[in-house]
């Protein structure tokens, strides 16, 4: 399993689209991505829209319900959350949920997982947030339970945060559901990726990518793992305009705290930037979202046609 070209859908606010037509608009994007050569479609595991994209009251679909429905609306494309918030579910339940998605999709699920970070969601929904260190303790314990369950092995574990007593996980359609970690933490996230992950999606400012690649390689070596066995991809926010005027208008919408992670320009300009700054930094794959116009028919296809040669 690897992600060479992923399409993330983080925005469910579509002008002129009524709530009952919202999911068909999501399906249209997923199908267009599949036809355009994207290998993975991903959604966020959040309950509120994120700062920098919109306001908390804007539409946000629950991730695994959405992915389960997309499994029946697509045929070949992999399905994942980028990323599942570990703090929102018991780990054995997480393993069961993603394995069921794998069965429903006939072997197309990926467990993307991270420690969790959006404090307001935790507060409003009643989930324990805890400290930064505690969330990573919980993630490590969770992966200790989840990893064997995704291989079809009963999980038994007694930890500070979680327990499992021979937790079984059937049915399954393949020997293992792959695990992807998402994040940019060089000490904690990358260490866990070296131990547990089949793929690492790096989330960081683009200027930091060479350092992140080097740090991930070091964590793999410390875990006695060949870095070549841990494929990587990079999450980018694409503000891709069809005309120079649209690009200019989009530039005015870039939040100050996202400017170092946004790729702005026409389709060809963004492809050139990604080739130089992401692939050139040693990253193997690209996951892009098109938060402003991905729902516009034909946009995903045009972006896919420009990016696919970069990762082929």
Q: Residue 48 above 80 pLDDT?
A: yes
Q: Residue 255 above 90 pLDDT?
A: no
> Residue 52's pLDDT is what?
85
Q: What is the pLDDT of residues 128-180, one digit of tens each?
A: 999 999 999 999 999 999 999 999 999 999 999 999 999 999 999 999 999 99
Q: Residue 306 above 90 pLDDT?
A: yes
> Residue 35's pLDDT is what?
98
Nearest C-alpha neighbor of 118 from the set 60, 186, 10, 46: 46
Class of the CATH domain delimited by 84-230 = alpha beta
Spatial distance between the Cα atoms of 309 and 267, rounded to a whole number of angstroms: 13
Spatial distance between the Cα atoms of 225 and 196, rounded to a whole number of angstroms: 11
> Residue 5's pLDDT is what?
98
> Residue 78's pLDDT is what?
98
Confidence of residue 3 (pLDDT cuts 50, 70, 90): very high
Spatial distance between the Cα atoms of 150 and 159, rounded to a whole number of angstroms: 19
Please, what is the end-to-end C-alpha distance for the chain in angstroms? 15
Q: What is the pLDDT of residues 30-44, one digit of tens each?
A: 999 999 999 999 999
Average pLDDT over the chain reads 96
Spatial distance between the Cα atoms of 306 and 63, rounded to a whole number of angstroms: 28
> Residue 259's pLDDT is what?
79
Nearest C-alpha neighbor of 44 from the set 130, 113, 127, 115: 113
User: Residue ranges per domain, the chain?
Assistant: 1-82+273-312, 84-230
> Residue 284's pLDDT is what?
97
Q: Residue 256 above 80 pLDDT?
A: no
Average pLDDT over residues 71-97: 98
> Residue 7's pLDDT is what?
98
Average pLDDT over residues 193-216: 97
Phi-psi region of 43 (alpha: psi -120 to 50; beta: other; left: phi over 0): beta
> Residue 156's pLDDT is what?
98
Q: Residue 1 above 90 pLDDT?
A: no
> Residue 2's pLDDT is what?
86
> Residue 257's pLDDT is what?
72
> Residue 253's pLDDT is what?
79
């Amino acid at each position: 399993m690897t992600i060479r070209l992923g399409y993330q859908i983080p925005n469910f606010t579509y002008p002129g689209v009524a709530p009952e037509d919202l999911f068909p608009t999501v399906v249209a994007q997923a199908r267009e991505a599949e036809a355009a050569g994207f290998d993975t479609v991903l959604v966020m595991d959040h309950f509120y829209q994120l700062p920098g994209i919109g306001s908390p009251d804007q539409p946000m679909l629950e991730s695994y319900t959405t992915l389960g429905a997309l499994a029946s609306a697509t045929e070949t494309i992999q399905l994942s959350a980028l990323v599942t918030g570990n703090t929102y579910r018991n780990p054995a339940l997480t393993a069961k949920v993603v394995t069921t998605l794998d069965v429903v999709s006939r072997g197309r699920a990926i467990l993307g997982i991270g420690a969790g970070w959006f404090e307001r969601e935790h507060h409003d929904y009643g989930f324990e947030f805890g400290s930064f260190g505690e969330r990573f303790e919980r993630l490590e314990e969770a992966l200790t339970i989840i990893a064997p369950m995704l291989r079809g092995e009963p999980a038994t574990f007694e930890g500070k945060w979680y327990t499992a007593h021979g937790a079984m996980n059937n049915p399954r359609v393949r020997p293992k559901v792959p695990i992807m970690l998402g994040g940019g933490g060089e000490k904690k996230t990358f260490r866990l990726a070296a131990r547990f992950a089949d793929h690492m999606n790096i989330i960081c400012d683009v200027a930091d990518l060479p350092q992140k690649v080097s740090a991930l390689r070091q964590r793999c070596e410390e875990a006695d793992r060949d870095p070549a066995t841990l494929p990587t991809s990079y999450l980018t926010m694409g503000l891709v305009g069809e005309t120079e005027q649209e690009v200019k208008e989009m530039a005015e919408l870039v939040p100050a705290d996202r400017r170092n992670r946004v790729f702005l320009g026409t389709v060809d300009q963004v492809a050139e930037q990604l080739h130089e700054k992401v692939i050139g930094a040693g990253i193997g794959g690209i996951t892009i979202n098109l938060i402003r116009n991905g729902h516009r028919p034909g946009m995903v296809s045009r972006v896919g046609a420009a990016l696919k040669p970069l990762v082929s």
